[in-house]
DNA sequence: CAATTCGCCTGTGGCA
DNA sequence: TGCCACAGGCGAA
């Protein structure tokens, strides 16, 4: 039988790892018990006798103790350590008197004791979640589909200059990434509880009944399960939504559970912490049998499928920024749906009186939430699941965990799996820091930061025509690869490597003797992305469906590559290594500096640059080619032409510019006018001005459109002064990044507004929520939009916002906001002549 | 459970 | 009142 591995769980009852597979033919989950007698374990430098003596109370839970050989990469030596295998994971760690604590207290060293058991099992058995396996009895074998000839040739060619080791990894990863994902039935679920107005129900207090459960399925199923309350008539359907009414809550729960079982994937929005545990708790309260929901401390699993909590997935910053391109602002269902689907929840007012809604309204409300959740699960052209599977395979992580963990966990998974495969000792953070150094030699520009980051060049303000943007494609991953930077290679113990210092002012040296795991994996992923998947995703002679899949792969790889440097500067990362992070940014600074030098030597005019890019004005193609070649031969990393701009408006401040592409598209970077917290009316004015600018092609045309710009800006200022606007057009939106009570040092305006909201409307605001507020005349200066009216809006403040927003680009255009709105004639070229 | 630094902007709150 | 450092938010890379 062939089935996809979804996850591995630990069964406390059987004291075994259980592999959960999905059989696409029957649509069922198949559980396979570990056939290898694998046990939880840790490694220690204590002798077997020491372990037995120290762990008296645990002795019955120790299954095996033996000496094993491991390679200690931090010290570059083979060591013999004691492997202590136990009957259950808690004996290793996670309980009060566990082995890892006992041994550490006695002064022994302990390794690999903080790895979750099911992860340890995945790594040790070389399993790849998300992949197809052949199951025969208890035996499982990875079903290895061959790469298509064409693709294999591409990989062979792209990696022809590399070692066999690297080329083989590339081929293996290419095979893994290519495997399609299974067809799966999926559905969304959302529940409502009869809690009084303004009270948030919680699974820790499951006293109120579940009154509605809405579901929507990939097979067209649309249902709302309702609990009958009172004797009002309930229709049997609303449009194509089926309403099923129950007199008993217990029956409702059973029916929901049965419906859920029909689907392999269940999407919820916050189902880990609310919907599923609440259902499970109610089932317990009412004495209903098992619903198939397994609740843990911070997650809810399904016995017969996989549960994906989209709230967690969408709160992942990497997903938000790289996969969804910042399309949504906050992380509530309303905000995410608004940004991605352009749809909202049904508004039932700030009191949220769920229990008081008449049945039909309740059904509509609940169903809309389930529908939004369903649509979010199907977003990106139904590619979200594919992305999750790609990460699952690369990170060697259960499919369900991908959505629940951050990017550092994904990268950890890639590295740990590789270590276990080689039988290398996974080092402790403290060891890396102690042996390989924690000292930082550079000073961050920003107070409170640990080390120096990238260079941003001073812009040459003004309007520049015919601008080429050159950049180092995936700069940090390229640096990692080129200089072999890894926590194993930095400041190695070999005397003869100490002179291998790429930079004079940073005393870290890099090992010459072997390839680090990080440069190997990151290098391969980078090259696969650049040379294979980006090309295939654009290739015209590949079917649409396949192109899309390649695009999924390349954009997923981008997410991992982008974070691959940052995690080493992240203190909580288990392989935290400040020298690694510092070395990478230092080499980045050296690269851009030297590229600027080369450009100047060629007589090119560099007008701006940030981290890995150079903006070059009016250069010939030949000179740009020459620059590429010189930089590459000098540095060994690729500089390439990223894009051209017809013209770039460059203010005198860094990280802000506006570029018009040959087809008239406007790239806006950093400028106030695009920040999501500024009022819509200002944004609208800003974009109207941009539209005018985008149509200009020559310096003369830019001059000409200044007049038009003046009229637009003047128009908006007049509008403000005459109060011709709606409140929602003038509200600022700022995210509440922590609990209201945690703002102790200052009270920012959005916090002031949020407090007013809580006082006057008796609602609770949560961290992560976006607060909309308006600037008003009067003592407080701000009001939440819900409490304000147009008459009290402080119009002058808004004119000020307009001024600062426009002045950013006006500086470069040689315009002045005050002159414009006072109706003075706009200076044109002729005035100077 | 949790990727980084650089840089701009607004507003707050302490101090003279 | 004005100055200034800092907090907090958002974006670029």
Q: Say what the pLDDT of residue A650 is.
A: 96
pLDDT by residue (tens digit) across A71-86? 999 999 999 999 999 9
Interval A598-612 mean pLDDT: 97
pLDDT by residue (tens digit) across A208-235? 999 999 999 999 999 999 999 988 889 9
Q: Say what the pLDDT of residue A528 is.
A: 96
pLDDT by residue (tens digit) across A313-346? 999 989 998 899 888 888 889 989 999 999 999 9
Task: Give how far Cα A505 sits from Cα of A440, A588, A814, Å.
Answer: 11, 14, 42
Residue A350 or A171, more confident? A171
Q: What is the DSSP letter of A320?
A: I
Pick out the nucleotide with least CA–C1' distance to A747: B12
Helices (H), A499-540: 517-527, 534-538
Cα–Cα–Cα angle for A637, A638, A640, rounded to 5 degrees: 155
Q: Could you identify the residue whose CA is nearest to the C1' atom of nucleotide C9? A: A734
pLDDT by residue (tens digit) across A376-414? 999 999 999 999 999 999 999 999 999 999 999 999 999
Q: Say what the pLDDT of residue A203 is.
A: 93
Percentage of residues in chain A having pLDDT higher than 70 = 99
Beta strand ranges found along A45-181 (DSSP E): 62-72, 77-86, 110-111, 132-136, 139-142
CA of A72 to C1' of B8 (A): 46
Interval A282-302 mean pLDDT: 94
Task: Give how far Cα A436 sits from Cα of A450, A518, A567, A568, Å.
Answer: 17, 16, 17, 13
pLDDT by residue (tens digit) across A762-814? 888 888 888 999 999 988 899 999 999 999 999 999 999 999 999 999 989 99
With b for 16 or more beta-carbon neighbours within 10 A and e for fewer, the A106-133 pattern comes to: eebebbbbebbbbbbbbbebebbbbbbb
Confidence of residue A138 (pLDDT cuts 50, 70, 90): confident
CA of A456 to C1' of B4 (A): 15
Confidence of residue A249 (pLDDT cuts 50, 70, 90): very high
Q: Say what the pLDDT of residue A89 is.
A: 96
Confidence of residue A825 (pLDDT cuts 50, 70, 90): low
Whole-angstrom Cα distance, residue A628 to residue A626?
5
Q: Could you identify the residue whose CA is nearest to the C1' atom of nucleotide B1? A: A405
Whole-angstrom Cα distance, residue A641 to residue A435?
41
pLDDT by residue (tens digit) across A696-718? 999 999 999 999 999 999 999 99
Instruction: Provide φ and ψ at A363, rounded to 5°.
Output: -60, -45
Half-sphere exposure of A4 (CA within 13 A, CB side): 25
pLDDT by residue (tens digit) across A413-456? 999 999 999 999 999 999 999 999 999 999 999 999 999 999 99
Q: Could you identify the residue whose CA is nearest to the C1' atom of nucleotide B4? A: A566
Task: Give how far Cα A576 sits from Cα of A396, A433, A530, Å.
Answer: 20, 8, 27
Within 7 A of a protein CB, which nucleotides of strand B?
Answer: 1-13
pLDDT by residue (tens digit) across A647-686? 999 999 999 999 999 999 999 999 999 898 999 999 999 9
Burial class (CB in 10 A: 0-12, 13-18, 19+), A689: buried
Q: Say what the pLDDT of residue A137 is.
A: 80
Interval A561-586 mean pLDDT: 96
A832 pLDDT higher than 70: no
Decide: CB of A668 under 7 A of nucleic strand C: yes
Interval A580-608 mean pLDDT: 97
Pick out the nucleotide with least CA–C1' distance to A409: B2
A828 pLDDT higher than 80: no
What does the mean pLDDT of chain A come to? Answer: 94
Residues 144-173 of chain A: which lie with beta carbon within 7 Å of strand C?
none
Interval A500-504 mean pLDDT: 95
Q: Say what the pLDDT of residue A118 is.
A: 97
With a CB cutoff of 8 Å and minimum separation 6, the contacts of A597 are none
Which of A297, A316, A303, A230 is CA-nearest to residue A266?
Answer: A303
Q: In the structure encoding, which two tokens stand for residue A61, read together?
A: 């839970």
Q: Say what the pLDDT of residue A232 is.
A: 80
With a CB cutoff of 8 Å and minimum separation 6, the contacts of A286 are A249, A250, A253
CA of A746 to C1' of C6 (A): 10
Q: Say what the pLDDT of residue A115 is.
A: 97
Confidence of residue A827 (pLDDT cuts 50, 70, 90): low
């Amino acid at each position: 039988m062939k089935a996809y591995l979804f996850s591995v769980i630990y069964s406390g009852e059987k004291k075994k790892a259980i592999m959960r597979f999905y059989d696409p033919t029957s649509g069922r989950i198949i559980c396979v018990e570990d056939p290898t007698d694998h046990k939880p374990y840790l490694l220690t430098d204590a002798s077997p006798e020491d372990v037995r003596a120290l762990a008296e109370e645990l002795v019955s839970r120790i299954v095996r103790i033996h000496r094993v050989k491991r390679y200690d990469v931090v010290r570059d030596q083979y060591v013999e350590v004691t492997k202590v295998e136990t009957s259950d994971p808690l004996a290793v760690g996670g309980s009060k008197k566990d082995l890892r604590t006992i041994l550490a207290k006695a002064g022994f060293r302990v390794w690999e004791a903080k790895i979750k058991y099911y992860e340890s099992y995945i790594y040790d058995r070389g399993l790849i979640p998300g992949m197809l396996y052949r199951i025969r009895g208890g035996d499982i074998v990875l079903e290895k589909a061959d790469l298509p000839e064409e693709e294999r040739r591409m990989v062979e060619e792209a990696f022809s200059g590399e070692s066999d080791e690297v080329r083989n990894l590339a081929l293996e990863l290419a095979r893994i990434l290519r495997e399609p994902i299974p067809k799966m039935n999926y559905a969304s679920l959302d529940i409502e509880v009869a809690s009084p107005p303004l009270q948030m129900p919680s699974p820790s207090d499951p006293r109120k009944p579940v009154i509605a459960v809405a579901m929507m399925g990939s097979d067209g199923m649309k249902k709302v399960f309702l609990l009958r309350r009172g004797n009002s008539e309930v229709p049997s359907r609303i449009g194509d939504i089926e309403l099923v009414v129950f007199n008993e809550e217990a029956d409702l729960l059973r029916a929901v559970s049965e419906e859920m079982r029909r689907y392999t994937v269940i999407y919820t929005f916050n189902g880990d912490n609310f919907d599923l545990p609440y259902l499970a708790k109610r089932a317990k309260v009412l004495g209903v049998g098992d619903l198939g929901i397994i609740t843990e401390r911070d997650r809810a699993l399904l016995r017969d499928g996989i549960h994906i909590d989209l709230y967690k997935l969408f709160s992942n910053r990497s997903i938000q920024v790289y996969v969804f391109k910042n399309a949504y602002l906050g992380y509530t269902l309303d905000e995410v749906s608004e940004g991605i689907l352009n749809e909202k929840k049904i508004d039932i007012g700030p009191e949220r009186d769920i229990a008081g809604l008449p049945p039909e309204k309740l059904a509509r409300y609940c169903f809309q939430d389930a529908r939004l959740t369903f649509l979010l699960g199907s977003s990106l052209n139904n590619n979200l699941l594919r992305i999750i599977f790609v990460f699952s395979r690369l990170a060697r992580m259960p499919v369900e965990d991908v959505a629940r963990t951050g990017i550092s966990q994904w990268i950890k998974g890639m590295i740990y799996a590789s270590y276990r495969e080689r039988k290398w000792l996974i080092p402790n953070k403290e060891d890396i820091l102690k042996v390989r150094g924690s000292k930082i030699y550079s000073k961050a520009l920003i107070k409170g930061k640990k080390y120096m980051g990238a260079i941003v060049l001073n812009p040459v303000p003004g309007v520049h025509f015919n601008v080429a943007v050159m950049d180092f494609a995936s700069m940090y991953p390229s640096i990692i690869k080129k200089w072999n930077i890894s926590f194993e290679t930095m400041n190695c113990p070999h005397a003869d490597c100490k002179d291998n210092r790429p930079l004079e002012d940073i005393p870290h040296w890099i090992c010459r003797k072997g390839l680090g795991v990080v440069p190997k994996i990151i290098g391969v992923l980078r090259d696969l992305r650049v040379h294979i998947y980006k090309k295939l995703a654009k290739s015209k002679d590949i079917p649409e469906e396949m192109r899309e899949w390649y695009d999924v792969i390349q954009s997923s790889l981008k997410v991992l590559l982008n974070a691959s440097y940052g995690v080493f500067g992240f203190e909580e990362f288990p392989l935290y290594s400040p020298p690694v992070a510092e070395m990478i940014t230092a080499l980045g600074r050296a690269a851009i500096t030297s590229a600027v030098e080369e450009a100047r030597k060629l007589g090119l005019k560099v007008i701006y640059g940030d981290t890995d890019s150079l903006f070059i004005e009016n250069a010939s193609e030949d000179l740009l080619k020459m620059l590429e070649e010189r930089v590459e031969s000098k540095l060994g990393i690729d500089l390439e032409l990223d894009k051209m701009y017809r013209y770039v408006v460059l203010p005198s401040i860094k990280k802000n510019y506006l570029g018009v592409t040959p087809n008239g598209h406007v790239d806006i970077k950093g400028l106030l006018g695009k920040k999501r917290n500024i009022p819509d009316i200002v944004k609208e004015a800003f974009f109207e001005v941009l539209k005018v600018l985008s149509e200009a092609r020559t310096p003369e045309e830019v001059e000409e459109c200044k007049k038009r710009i003046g009229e637009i800006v003047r128009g908006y200022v007049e509008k403000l002064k005459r109060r011709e606007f709606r409140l929602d057009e003038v509200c600022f939106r700022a995210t509440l990044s922590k609990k209201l009570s945690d703002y102790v040092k200052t009270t920012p305006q959005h916090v002031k507004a949020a407090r007013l909201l809580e006082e006057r409307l008796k609602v609770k605001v949560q961290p992560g929520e976006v607060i909309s507020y308006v600037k008003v005349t009067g003592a407080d200066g701000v009001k939440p939009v819900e409490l304000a009216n147009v008459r009290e809006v402080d119009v002058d403040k808004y004119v000020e916002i307009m001024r600062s927003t426009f002045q950013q680009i006006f500086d470069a255009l040689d315009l002045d906001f005050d002159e414009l709105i006072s109706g003075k004639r706009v200076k044109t070229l002729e005035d100077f002549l």
